[in-house]
């Protein structure tokens, strides 16, 4: 009797608590897509770095092609500011990054990631923040 009662109690508690624990892990995210167009190649002047604020990244247009660098500081998630030729600086804890995204001065430990870019059929530059790429990545457009 006691064993049956204990089993029932434990099973009942585990069922409820397990369901509760699982339910707080969201299965569907109502968040902006992580692969998105940022504009046409012509929107970005030659030899420029453009802050796409709503996507929190920079699009660089160089003679060799386009590339995208994240604006989210790898330290604690603030937006870094960019100055042409000087690199990036984070306003929260003072990390600075080279023009290519490498860490110049901590506390950030990792470089700003670069995201994969492609050209859509409609001729728009598309960034995929789920896929990071190396420093040699350039998109000819």
Partner 1 sequence: MINDIARRLWLSVFRVGWPRTRQTRVEAMLSSFVLHVHPTWVRVHALRPTYTLGLGLVSFYLFLVLTVTGLALMLYYVPHPDAAYRSMKDLEYAVTFGMFLRNAHRWAAHGMVAVVFLHMCRVFLTGAYKAPREFNWVVGVLLLLLTLALSFTGYLLPWDQLAYWAITVGTAIVAYFPVLGPQVRYLLLGGHEIGAAALLRFYVLHCLVLPLAMAFLVALHFWRVRKDGGLSAPPGRLHRRVLAWPHLVFRELLVLVLVLVVIHAAALLFDAPLEEIADATRTPNPAKAPWYFLGLQELVRYGAIFGGVVVPTGLVLALLLLPYLDTHPRGVGVWFAPERRTANAVFVAIALAVVAVTIVGTFFRGPNWAWVWPW
Where on the chain is the footprint of partner 1 (CB under 8 A)?
A: 24-26, 29-31, 53-54, 56, 75-79, 81, 89-94, 106-107, 109
Nearer to partner 1, 104 or 138 (CB): 104
Provide, rounded to whole angstroms, the least separation between the CB of residue 140 and partner 1. Answer: 29
Nearer to partner 1, 65 or 107 (CB): 107
Residue 51's alpha-carbon distances to 59, 60, 103, in angstroms, are 7, 9, 19
Provide, rounded to whole angstroms, the least separation between the CB of residue 52 and partner 1. Answer: 9
Provide, rounded to whole angstroms, the least separation between the CB of residue 109 and partner 1. Answer: 7
Query: Is 55 within 8 Å of 48 (Cβ atoms)?
Result: no
Residue 19's alpha-carbon distances to 7, 11, 107, in angstroms, are 18, 12, 40
d(C-alpha 72, C-alpha 79), whole Å: 5
Query: Is 38 within 8 Å of 125 (Cβ atoms)?
Result: yes
Nearer to partner 1, 8 or 39 (CB): 39
Provide, rounded to whole angstroms, the least separation between the CB of residue 84 and partner 1. Answer: 18
Nearer to partner 1, 2 or 25 (CB): 25
Provide, rounded to whole angstroms, the least separation between the CB of residue 54 and partner 1. Answer: 6
**Dihedral (CA of 103, 107, 109, 113) sign:** negative
Residue 137's alpha-carbon distances to 27, 63, 117, 127, 131, in angstroms, are 33, 13, 9, 13, 12
Nearer to partner 1, 1 or 109 (CB): 109
């Amino acid at each position: 009797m006691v064993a049956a009662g204990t089993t029932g109690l434990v099973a009942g508690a585990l069922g409820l608590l397990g369901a509760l624990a699982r339910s707080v892990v969201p299965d569907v995210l109502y968040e902006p897509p992580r692969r998105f167009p940022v504009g046409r190649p012509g929107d970005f002047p030659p030899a420029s770095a453009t802050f796409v604020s709503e996507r929190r990244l920079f699009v660089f247009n160089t003679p060799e092609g386009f590339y995208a660098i994240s604006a989210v500081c790898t330290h604690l998630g603030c937006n870094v500011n960019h100055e042409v030729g000087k690199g990036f600086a984070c306003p929260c804890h003072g990390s600075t990054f080279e023009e290519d995204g490498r860490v110049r001065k901590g506390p950030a430990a990792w470089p700003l990631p670069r995201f994969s870019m492609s050209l859509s059929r409609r001729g728009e530059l598309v960034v995929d923040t789920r896929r990071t790429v190396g420093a040699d990545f350039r998109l000819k457009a």
